[in-house]
Each structure stands twice: as structure tokens, then as C-alpha cells.
Chains A and B, each alone.
Chain A
């Protein structure tokens, strides 16, 4: 069988398994095992055990359950309610009002968390129930959360930029700084879409909050203090030199417990309940990561992504045509693999191509992250979709539909980055000029 037939067969097997209701993580494992069994003379079971062990035994990943736990603790406090109440009077006039909290919350949280699943899980745990309670449109609430969860990858720290930096021997400091402007730009695009949507769909917005006199508004703002203290504490622990980004997740847990204790919501049962939920949710995400790692190692053995990338390399395209082809390629690959796997599996073939086309390697890293972070929200394998199905019970296809407008905003962001490379390059060149 040639690679194309094999790829299609595997894709169909995976879709059938998913459609039949097999758990996502196990479906990924079966597809990976099938690929190894069919194509490579190695024992699939031993490969699976070694690979899953290597994928989950990870310091960076340890931040995930901590952030999920933090979200569970905060969910049981009045933090979200306070935050929304404090923000509401200020956002009355902004079209889309509190829907923007999802986007801003993810953008701020992205400055602490390097992963998009953790960003989505932690922010969503607090914002979705509150938006629901206040009568906001569910489609927009879920779509904006799934979309802005991906900011976790672009705004530093970012696990995927670290992986790219290691594979290409580029400065991680520079990559991190280069991600800031595009990250903020993407957040602005999301907010812009939300505002425009709200203007055209006024009937689907909840009734506006009553107008609040200025002094009372200031008084209400005090309710933002706990969340601001929490954010300052976690970000401050990184930039004050007290914690690495991974360790900052635990600072978040400890501060959340303190907050919960001060506000009287911490007792034995809420503690155990939060911990149990965190353990179950992160177990779900980790098992899917484990399944994805089996599929990834199968792709490494069979060389399918590499061969596809080589096919593109062989077309000898002009830089813009090359970027268009690569974008399509990464989006299709992103439907089945996660972003980090895509970077790892294709770097060897893609980078010489990129260098030959005269593209800046730092710039390409930002472009690449922007493109592969779309994989987080494309079905059938998209981690933000799984996280949101876990949060809301809405199935991933429905969530993907709700996220589609935000996916299109990401395409716009890719186009902007391609047309104006300085969006990514200006800040590192200015800050680290020598």
C-alpha cells in the first residue's frame, strides 16, 4: 500500500472508531497501534508502553493538573461572580459586554500557562457557568472560550515555542518575545469579532445591566481585588524569580486555597471534591495525550507526515505559494495530530524548505504556532474541544461549529502575519538589539 492509501485508511479507521462511541483516547491508541502493526516490524504493544511512559512522565505536563485543580478550587469560591460583577459596570458600553471576559481572561492566563488545554479548562471552569447564569448566548460563550484558549500557545510562556526553539536551535527568549504582539493581535481580532457579532445580534444578548453611577461603579470595582491579587501573585512568582512557569501552577493552587479559606468556602468536602474533579479531568486530558502520543510515534515510524512535507518541498513553490500550501497541510494534519507532534514530526523536512525560501526562522516559528494552534479546535482531534465537552457536555462537533468564526479569525491572523512579518519581528529586534 502506498502512503496515501495508508493515510486515508487510518483516517477512516479513526473516524469510525470515534463515531462508534469508543473513548477518544482509546480510539487514538487503536489507530496508532493499527498503523504500527500494518507498516512497521516492531511490537506495537511495547512501542505503546514506552511511548506513553515517555510522553506522560513530563515536568512540563505536571502544570496541567495543577491549573485544572486551581480552576476547580476557584469554581467553588465566589471569585467568578465577583469578577463579573466588578467588570460589568465598566463593560456596559462595549458591544459584547462580558463575553470579552473569556478572551481577556485567556489572554491574561496565557501569560502564566504554556498550554492551551490548561488555559481553556481553568478559565472555562469559572467563566462558562457565570456567562450562562447571566443569560449570554451559549454559542458565543463556548466559541470564544475555545478560540481564545489557544492563546496559551502564542503568548509566552509556550511549550510549543520551546519545542520549536529546541528543534531549530533558535533563541527561546526571542521566540517568546516574538509571540507577544501576534498573541495580542489575535486576542484583539477575537474581541473585534465578538463586538461585531453583538452589534448584529442584539436580540441574542441579555438585557443590559442597569446604569450605575460613577461612584458606585468604583465601589463595585473593589470586587475585582481578589482576582487581581491572584493574577499578580502567580505572574509575580515567575517574574520575581520565585517560580518557573511550571512551578507557578502550584503557586496558583496555593493562592486559590488561601483565597478560598479567607472567603469561607474552603472546608473538607469542597477540598476533596475539587481535588477529585481535578484528578478526573486531568486524567481525561492526559489519557488523550497518551493516545495522541501513540498515534504520533506511529507517524514517526511510518513517515507519513514527513513524506507529505517532502511532497510539498518537491513542488518548488514561491514563498507565498509555499506558505499557502503549508497552511493547508498543517490544518489538515492538525485535524488528527496535536500541534507539538506536528512540529516535531515535520521540522526536519520543513525547515530546510523555509530557509531556502529565505524566510526568517523566528518569524516562521510564530507563523507555525499560529497555524498549528488551530489544531486545538479542529475536529475530530482537538484538545480544546475535548476540554469543553468535559466542561459543558456539548459534543465536540457542536463545539467545533460554535468555534468556527474564531477559527476564521485565526486564518485572518495568519494572513496578517504573512503580509506584515514585522508584527512578529519588531519586538524581538527592538528589545534584544545588539
Chain B
């Protein structure tokens, strides 16, 4: 089970990273196309006018996918921001109780969000919602990526809730966030 869950988190994170790379590749192709045209103009040749169709919309969709699929990884990496100033001063037992309560609330919100994200995607599929630019892209696809990311995030929160309930440290506490300066909080 442990191994399976870690694989799911890892897969989601790799997909998120791939989406970021894809944004960079598509945008770079468009910029390279303009540079090529400028080069052609230097030799008195007509521009080619290379176009990545619907670039702005596709980049937006990929950003959604990248952002939500990265959720579990960033939670478990200790990167998601929270304010532990107040609960940091509590005695260990009280702090653990807070940790459980916060995780339960977080999992509930994420699960609630997941359910409605799934509905949004299903709704878009049912009503054939598409993007409006040069290429008609069905909106349910990026919306499904968003829902999937939130789903994995919910699982990750439940995973940590289980850990907290059974007296283990949640993942984000043990992860050493990659801070560049200053002390740990």
C-alpha cells in the first residue's frame, strides 16, 4: 500500500513536471519561429509565419494540469505554506490534536473540492464545452487533470491523517523543505 501510494504521488508529480516542460517547449517554438522570420528578413526572404495554434489557451490548460498534479508532491515535500507560529508553542499532545483536526479539515475541503471538480469536468463533457481559439479543445480534458490532481491531493491528506492518528509524523513534517536561508520554523 505504502509503495503504491508513493508511486501515485510520484506519477502525478512527473506529469506536472512534464506539463511545465511542454509549456516551455511550445512557447519556445513560437519564439524561435519569430527569430527565424527575423533571420529570413535579413536575407530579404519573405517570413514563414510559424504559428503554434491556440498557444495561450493550451499554456493555460497545461498550467492547470501542472499546478494541480503537483499538489501531493508539494504537500509531502513540506512546500505548501502554513503558519505554525501559534501551534508551535503548544505541548506535544495538544499539538498532535491540532494536527489531526487540521488534517481532517484539509482532507474534507480537498474531498469536497474534488467532487465538484469532477462534476465540472463531467458537465463540460456533457455540454460539449470547448475552447474558443483556433483549435477547439474540449475543456473536460484539462478539467479532468485538475480533478485528478485534487483527488491525489485528497488521498495524500488522508494518508497523512492516518499517520497523525496512529502517532507517526506526517510526511510534510519530516520532509526537510529546501530552504535557502534562515532557520527552520
A binds B: yes
CB contacts (< 8 Å) of A284 on chain B: these are 74, 79-81
CB distance from B183 to the nearest CB of A (A): 7
By beta carbon, the residue of chain A nearest B84 is A21
Interchain CB contact under 8 A, A253 and B79: no
Interchain CB contact under 8 A, B109 and A26: yes
Number of A-B contacts (CB under 8 A): 225
Q: For the complex, give the distance between the alpha carbons of A283 and B71 in Å.
A: 6
Chain B, range 147-185, C-beta contacts under 8 Å to A: 177-185
Interchain CB contact under 8 A, B180 and A75: yes
In-complex Cβ contact of A46 among B34, B70, B120 (8 A):
B120
By beta carbon, the residue of chain B nearest A281 is B79
Q: For the complex, give the distance between the alpha carbons of A243 and B68 in Å.
A: 27
Interchain CB contact under 8 A, A56 and B64: yes
CB contacts (< 8 Å) of B61 on chain A: these are 57
Interchain CB contact under 8 A, B20 and A69: yes
CB distance from B36 to the nearest CB of A (A): 10
Interface membership of chain B positions 112-129, coded 1 if the CB is closer than 8 angstroms to chain A and 0 otherwise: 110111011000000000
CB contacts (< 8 Å) of B113 on chain A: these are 29, 45, 48-49, 52
CB distance from A142 to the nearest CB of B (A): 7
CB contacts (< 8 Å) of B112 on chain A: these are 45
Interchain CB contact under 8 A, B67 and A275: no
The secondary-structure label for the interface of chain B is: helix
User: In this assembly, does A380 line the interface, its C-beta being within 8 Å of a C-beta of chain B?
Assistant: yes
User: In this assembly, does A320 line the interface, its C-beta being within 8 Å of a C-beta of chain B?
Assistant: no
Interchain CB contact under 8 A, A56 and B82: no
By beta carbon, the residue of chain A nearest B83 is A18
In-complex Cβ contact of A132 among B71, B85, B181 (8 A):
B181
CB distance from B146 to the nearest CB of A (A): 6
Interchain CB contact under 8 A, B83 and A397: yes
Chain A, range 291-320, C-beta contacts under 8 Å to B: none
User: In this assembly, does B130 line the interface, its C-beta being within 8 Å of a C-beta of chain A?
Assistant: no
Interchain CB contact under 8 A, A142 and B182: yes
Interchain CB contact under 8 A, B98 and A20: yes
Count how many chain A residues have C-beta atoms less than 8 Å from C-beta atoms of the other chain. Answer: 76
User: In this assembly, does B138 line the interface, its C-beta being within 8 Å of a C-beta of chain A?
Assistant: no
By beta carbon, the residue of chain B nearest A276 is B17
Which of A58-66, A336-344, A414-422 forms part of the interface with chain B?
Answer: A58-66
Q: For the complex, give the distance between the alpha carbons of A190 and B84 in Å.
A: 30
Q: For the complex, give the distance between the alpha carbons of A26 and B112 in Å.
A: 12
By beta carbon, the residue of chain A nearest B110 is A26
CB distance from A264 to the nearest CB of B (A): 22
Interface membership of chain B positions 48-60, coded 1 if the CB is closer than 8 angstroms to chain A and 0 otherwise: 0000000011011
Interchain CB contact under 8 A, A242 and B34: yes
In-complex Cβ contact of A53 among B56, B74, B120, B178 (8 A):
B120
Q: For the complex, give the distance between the alpha carbons of A58 and B61 in Å.
A: 8
CB contacts (< 8 Å) of B119 on chain A: these are 45-46, 49
Interchain CB contact under 8 A, A394 and B182: yes
User: In this assembly, does A138 line the interface, its C-beta being within 8 Å of a C-beta of chain B?
Assistant: yes
Q: For the complex, give the distance between the alpha carbons of A242 and B60 in Å.
A: 20
Question: Shortest 8 CB-CB distances between A and B: which pairs?
Answer: A283-B70, A45-B116, A392-B182, A280-B74, A59-B56, A250-B27, A49-B116, A286-B67
Could you name 6 residue pairs across A and B whose Cβ atoms are closer than 8 Å?
Answer: A21-B99, A282-B67, A283-B66, A283-B70, A391-B181, A395-B185
